[in-house]
A = this chain, B = another copy of it.
Amino acid sequence: MTLRFELLHRDGAARCGRLHLPHGTVDTPAFMPVGTYGTVKAMTPAELEALGAQIVLGNTFHLALRPGAGIVALHAGGLHGFMGWQRPILTDSGGFQVFSLAKLRRISEQGVRFRSPVDGAEVHMSPEDSMDVQRALQSDIAMAFDDCTAYPATEKQARESMERSMRWAARGHAHYYRNAPPGHLFGIVQGGMHLALRTASLEALSTLDWPGLAIGGLAVGEPEEERLRVLDHTLPLMSADKPRYLMGVGYPHDIVAAVARGVDLFDCVMPTRHARNGHLFTSQGIVNIRNAQYQRDTGPLDPDCACSTCRTYSRAYLRHLDRCNEILGVRLGTVHNLHYYLELMRGIRAAIAEGRFDALAGRIMAIPRRAGPPVA
């Protein structure tokens, strides 16, 4: 199955394009809301569509444990039918979660044996298992199963981990493509913060045909300048005509910095998780709606925002819902934060198309990064 990726415009290293997937087209650079358990938390598929989401991410690790790939696969279209989302889906491989969430983990060349954090049952996941799950989920884009390198890691640790990931990637590739795959499998570049290992990882991957590549092993706790150093080294080595996905990133300014270097795809739990904690992205910075200063504030959350939350409700009401732990508060915050992210991506694409990406990036970079002063 050939993946068609049209590059439409370039502005410096930034580019915008169109990714044609089995369930539809994705305009890039794109942000993928995270739908861990077959639901982008608090949202319906219809709401996601209305916000302009064109692709969501599903977590293979979580879905394999609950409800299990077999139950998802009973539904026509796999995960699409199960969750009622008919647009594209990317699934991660479970590799990252095995290393961050599983208990009593034992790694062998064969795969990883661990205790399920759900019920304590012993589970084994190999590259082949991950491919089987992702095939059953029928995602448009599947990801290679990797040994996610911890941060920090010595050169030796990072090398061994990267080399295992490369062997696992080759096994996964053979298994995923063994017969009529439901989608496309992306490889993942590893190598930690060690630039020579990033180069070696890309060389290892180049022996196989990947329709797209991801940069893994970032957004794992490293300082921003480390991440940018790895991106500055790695992105120019990646094929320019294939989509590039930076896994797990990030804040708006992180996304802008990565787009500036040539990244096309992003995912992050930030907008949805922050909404559940009352942290709301605005044109003036992150508003902590729990703050007492909003108690009597009848103005909209962000006067510059066109989302239904900002058009309908006051800050005082949003604060009240948060304080009372009302589900509607999470919903309205999630709608707003996802609108903010998807609007950011629309703005980025338009700016690249019109050759004014630098100016937009400068404005995004100037927005305060922490839950900040009151919005005027």
Of A5-13, A23-31, A327-335, the one with at least 4 CB within 8 A of chain B: A327-335
Which residues of chain A (32-91) have a CB below 8 Å from chain B? 37-39, 41-44, 66-67, 71, 74-75, 82-84
Q: A359 at interface (Cβ–Cβ under 8 A)?
A: no
Known: A44-B331, A75-B298. A67 touches B316 (CB 8 A): yes
A176: chain B residues within 8 A (beta carbon) = none
Mask, A286-307, CB within 8 Å of B = 1, is 0000000001101000000000
Which of B71, B321, B323 is A320 in contact with, Cβ under 8 Å? B71
The 8 nearest A-B residue pairs measured at CB: A42-B327, A67-B320, A39-B328, A37-B324, A84-B312, A39-B326, A74-B298, A82-B317
CA distance A317 to B314 in the complex (A): 34
Q: A313 at interface (Cβ–Cβ under 8 A)?
A: yes
Q: Check A327 against B326 for contact (C-beta < 8 Å).
A: no
Q: Check A314 against B43 for contact (C-beta < 8 Å).
A: no
Closest-by-CB residue of B relative to A335 is B44
Interface residues of A (CB under 8 A from B): 37-39, 41-44, 66-67, 71, 74-75, 82-84, 295-296, 298, 312-314, 316-317, 319-321, 323-324, 326-328, 330-331
Min C-beta distance of A300 to chain B, whole Å: 12
Q: Check A320 against B37 for contact (C-beta < 8 Å).
A: yes
Q: Check B295 against A67 for contact (C-beta < 8 Å).
A: yes
Which of B66, B296, B323 is A66 in contact with, Cβ under 8 Å? B323
Q: Check A328 against B67 for contact (C-beta < 8 Å).
A: no
Task: Give 18 CB contacts A-B under 8 Å.
Answer: A38-B317, A38-B320, A38-B321, A39-B326, A39-B328, A41-B326, A41-B328, A67-B316, A67-B319, A67-B323, A71-B295, A71-B316, A74-B296, A75-B298, A75-B317, A82-B316, A84-B313, A327-B331
**Assembly of this chain: how many copies?**
2
A84: chain B residues within 8 A (beta carbon) = 312-313, 317
Closest-by-CB residue of B relative to A327 is B42
Closest-by-CB residue of B relative to A326 is B39
Min C-beta distance of A322 to chain B, whole Å: 11
A331: chain B residues within 8 A (beta carbon) = 42, 44, 327, 331
A82: chain B residues within 8 A (beta carbon) = 314, 316-317, 320
Min C-beta distance of A317 to chain B, whole Å: 6
A328: chain B residues within 8 A (beta carbon) = 39, 41-44
CA distance A39 to B66 in the complex (A): 31
A39: chain B residues within 8 A (beta carbon) = 321, 326, 328
Known: A41-B327, A327-B42. A75 touches B321 (CB 8 A): no
Told that A38-B320, A75-B317, A82-B314 touch, could you supply 16 new A-B pairs with CB distance under 8 A? Answer: A37-B321, A37-B326, A41-B326, A42-B328, A43-B328, A67-B295, A67-B316, A67-B319, A71-B296, A74-B296, A74-B298, A74-B316, A75-B314, A83-B317, A84-B312, A327-B331
CA distance A71 to B295 in the complex (A): 8
CA distance A319 to B328 in the complex (A): 21
